[in-house]
Amino acid sequence: GLLFLRSPSVQIRCLMALFRSIIGLVFVLGSLCEDPGTESEGYAAYEPKNVHFYENFDDWSAWHHSSHEDFQGRFEIGTGSQPSLDGEVGLIAQDEAKKYGFSTVFDSVFDTDKDLVFQYELRLHEQLQCGGAYLKLIRQVDDVDFDPESFTNETPFSIMFGPDRCGGTNKVHFIFKYQNPVSKEWHEHHLKSPPSIRNDRQTHLYTLIIRTDNTFEVLIDQESERGGSLFDDFEPPINPPKIIDDPNDEKPEDWIEEDSIPDPEAEKPEDWDEDAPRTILDEEAEKPDDWYEDEEDMIPDPEAKQPDDWDTDADGDWDAPLIENPICVDASGCGPWTRPSIPNPEYKGLWSAPMIDNPEYKGIWAPAQIDNVNWFETSEPHRLQPIVGVGIDIWTMQANVEFDNIFIGHDIEAAKDYAMHTFVPKQTYEAKMKPESSKDEPTESFFAPLTNVLEEYGIPSLVTDNFAFIIATLVVGVLSVVFLMCRSGSKASVTPSPSTAKDDDAEEEEQTTDSNKDDSDERKHLEPSEKENSESTATGSTTQARSAETTEDSDNADGDAGSGDEHSEQDDAASDDDPFLGASTGLAAEEEADRSGSKTKSRAAKSKRRRRAD
């Protein structure tokens, strides 16, 4: 295609465009076909040590959705709207405004008579406005095996732990259930002051530790956020009170709790004036000798002067600023004097009967205290009911809630080690990829977003299987587009669109009209004595200007003719290279010469008419 282009400069530009297109194509295909194992920020599955149960969702065949009709939401395995480490996937709640029920059963029962550590990663790809993101540790019920497909919000659990946010609620739940050994009832015990959730669209690690000394600790991103005692920091407390109110006791209807009442026998005295004012004027007061009623507290400043730039028409009348009257400074006062007010000795206000002790008063009622028949006292609240599985029972108004790397075990150090190999690399990578991160920090490659989209639809494998065919097709397509663009550009540059003599004459006539109009406006503002001199001078100047214009038009005409000769020489040179181009170039040269001659004649005639008019 480049051989058909006549201009060497156009050929060079097209070659450069073709070269850049091929380089870009190689980079894209190289990015698509790159081995994931060579990524510096790649994901490698890590198997934790000394763990009872863990889940990274590389294989989620052991998990099951609930068959209950309330749970319409479906989890999927993916990266969410903000992928993290290359190759890393998680459990994604894809849809908003739905309930999700999803669970799995352990291979063996988890004993709680040891230290317990329960942690998982959570990423809210969309900031949580209203919804839950917590997990439940499902407790063993007698000898019945847990069926994940029968999982509901009523399924018994031992621990519920994780974020929850909606309206005024913004906390990390820690709820544990404990059975009263006397009444056999199960009670929920809620952490009194739970920490707030992390809601910044990054991955966060939530960890719960329950120790055999009956203490607990809640950590977020391996930092302690809350800790305390299982005895003291929950509502209701784990151990119930020994004495309780009698639930069957009720306050009698005639029980009087008011300790005082108005005296029913009291009467208002006859001389009690309820209409007397609270204050009256002091009739004994006299005006001080240094009170000047004819003076004002504030007077115009006698030394002030009106500013020189004060415009009465625009600013109004000028008034001097007011100052404190020097006569009144040390005096008792100035202006009209009035008697001061004093309290009215006759004022008593509204009459009311005095209060007396209530003879019927019995005191503040309280129910009778009885022994708590369900009272018990445990010294080991950490010993919860054995756990057989883990489940997600949530309702959320936001989609893209991602769970990952669940760890349940007894070894606290093993949980830390697992976090160091899973959460910490992810946290470090996401910190570098934040939009507000420093420009000096490394960022993902230019083609990474395109690569992620193409990988989602399986394009890399398609390219790998059909690499030669795809390369050939793309090269042919790129060459065709470049050839068409370059050839159309070279044709457009052969014959520029010239301006006609008619356009030049119209422009010159418009300029002359504007010049005459300006001269006429200027003459209107001159005095009668000066107008004649101005007109004569303007006439002479106009004559000289038009003579110079005539000479310039002649020179331009000669220049146009010269330019026409130069074009003709160039066209002749081009016609030697291309015989087809020579014929068209010769015709163009003849047309150009005719236009130049017509333009010269037109300008000469116009100059002659102007001289005759002058």
Are 121 and 13 within one domain? no
Query: What local confidence, expressed as pLDDT, does residue 569 receive?
Result: 46
Residue 255's contacts (CB-CB under 8 Å, 6 or more residues apart) are 362, 365
Is the pLDDT confidence value at 142 over 80?
yes
Extended beta strands in 62-115, E state: 64-65, 75-78, 90-93, 98-110
Query: What local confidence, expressed as pLDDT, does residue 24 receive?
Result: 64
Are 109 and 222 within one domain? yes
Query: What local confidence, expressed as pLDDT, does residue 464 receive?
Result: 56
Query: What local confidence, expressed as pLDDT, does residue 483 receive?
Result: 65
Query: What local confidence, expressed as pLDDT, does residue 593 receive?
Result: 53
What is the average pLDDT value for the chain, to the nearest integer?
79
Are 411 and 545 within one domain? no
- Residue range 204-221: mean pLDDT, rounded: 98
pLDDT-derived band at 147, boundaries 50, 70, 90: very high
- What are 323's two structure tokens? 């100052």
DSSP-derived 3-state class of residue 216: strand
* 229-258 pLDDT, tens digit each: 999 999 999 999 999 999 999 999 999 999
Identify the residue with better confidence: 213 or 560: 213
Whether 445 maps to a domain, the answer reads no
Dihedral over alpha carbons 184, 190, 191, 196 (to 10 degrees): 150
Are 216 and 121 within one domain? yes
Whether 542 maps to a domain, the answer reads yes
- Residue range 375-382: mean pLDDT, rounded: 96
Distance set, CA 116 to CA 70, 96, 209, 232, 362 (Å): 32, 33, 6, 19, 54
* Listed range (25-39, 185-199, 430-444, 463-477) with the worst mean pLDDT: 25-39
Are 196 and 144 within one domain? yes
- Residue range 380-403: mean pLDDT, rounded: 96
Q: Could you tell me which of 298, 385, 281, 295 has the C-alpha nearest to residue 342? A: 281
CA separation for the pair 161, 134 (Å, rounded): 5
Query: What local confidence, expressed as pLDDT, does residue 239 receive?
Result: 96
The single residue listed with the structure tokens 């009467």 is 267
Exposure on the CB side of residue 72, measured as CA atoms within 13 A: 6
Is the pLDDT confidence value at 36 over 50?
no
Angle between helices 579-613 and 528-577 in degrees, nearest 10 = 170
pLDDT-derived band at 580, boundaries 50, 70, 90: very low
Is the pLDDT confidence value at 139 over 60?
yes
Are 480 and 579 within one domain? no
Beta bridge partners of 220: 206, 223
- Residue range 342-359: mean pLDDT, rounded: 92
Residue 347's contacts (CB-CB under 8 Å, 6 or more residues apart) are 276, 277, 278, 279
| pTM of the predicted model as reported, rounded to 2 decimal places | 0.54
- Residue range 253-269: mean pLDDT, rounded: 93
- Cα 584 to its chain centre, rounded Å, is 63
Residue 455's contacts (CB-CB under 8 Å, 6 or more residues apart) are 32
- Residue range 268-289: mean pLDDT, rounded: 90
Is the pLDDT confidence value at 433 over 80?
yes
Looking only at the bridges linking them, the beta strands covering 291-292 and 333-334 are parallel
- What are 257's two structure tokens? 């709790």
- pLDDT above 70 as % of the chain: 66
Query: What local confidence, expressed as pLDDT, does residue 17 receive?
Result: 66
Is the pLDDT confidence value at 568 over 50?
no
Identify the residue with better confidence: 239 or 567: 239
* Listed range (30-39, 293-302, 332-341, 406-415) with the worst mean pLDDT: 30-39
Whether 45 maps to a domain, the answer reads no
CA angle 322, 327, 328 (to 5 degrees): 75
Residue 295's contacts (CB-CB under 8 Å, 6 or more residues apart) are 325, 327, 328, 334, 335
Are 127 and 194 within one domain? yes
H or E stretch at 541: helix 528-577
- What are 51's two structure tokens? 């763990």
Q: Could you tell me which of 478, 438, 426 has the C-alpha nearest to residue 44? A: 426
Whether 503 maps to a domain, the answer reads no
- What are 305's two structure tokens? 């002067």
CA separation for the pair 287, 281 (Å, rounded): 13
CA separation for the pair 614, 597 (Å, rounded): 26
What is the DSSP code string of 126-171?
A: S--SEEE--EEEEEPBTTBPP-GGG--TTS-EEEEEEEEEETTEEE
Are 483 and 562 within one domain? no
Are 418 and 474 within one domain? no
Are 575 and 486 within one domain? no
Are 24 and 65 within one domain? no
What is the DSSP code string of 279-325?
A: EEE-TT----TTEETTS-SEEE-TT----TT--HHHH-S--PPEEE-
Contact between 136 and 210 (Cβ < 8 Å): no
pLDDT-derived band at 486, boundaries 50, 70, 90: low
pLDDT-derived band at 555, boundaries 50, 70, 90: very low
- Cα 296 to its chain centre, rounded Å, is 62
Range of the domain at 195: 53-240+389-432
Is the pLDDT confidence value at 451 over 70?
no
Identify the residue with better confidence: 489 or 308: 308
Whether 349 maps to a domain, the answer reads no
Contact between 391 and 151 (Cβ < 8 Å): yes
Whether 301 maps to a domain, the answer reads no
* Listed range (228-232, 285-289, 555-559, 605-609) with the worst mean pLDDT: 555-559
Whether 153 maps to a domain, the answer reads yes
Dihedral over alpha carbons 355, 358, 359, 360 (to 10 degrees): 150
Query: What local confidence, expressed as pLDDT, does residue 474 receive?
Result: 76
Are 26 and 160 within one domain? no
CA separation for the pair 34, 102 (Å, rounded): 36
Helix (H), strand (E) counts: the chain? 10, 27
Domain count, the chain: 3
CA separation for the pair 258, 360 (Å, rounded): 8
DSSP-derived 3-state class of residue 610: helix
Whether 197 maps to a domain, the answer reads yes
Is the pLDDT confidence value at 428 over 60?
yes
CA separation for the pair 95, 260 (Å, rounded): 64
* 509-526 pLDDT, tens digit each: 555 555 554 454 544 444
Is the pLDDT confidence value at 463 over 70?
no
- Residue range 127-145: mean pLDDT, rounded: 93
Query: What local confidence, expressed as pLDDT, does residue 608 receive?
Result: 54
Give the number of other Cβ atoms within 10 Å of residue 219's Cβ: 22
CATH number of the domain to which 142 belongs: 2.60.120.200
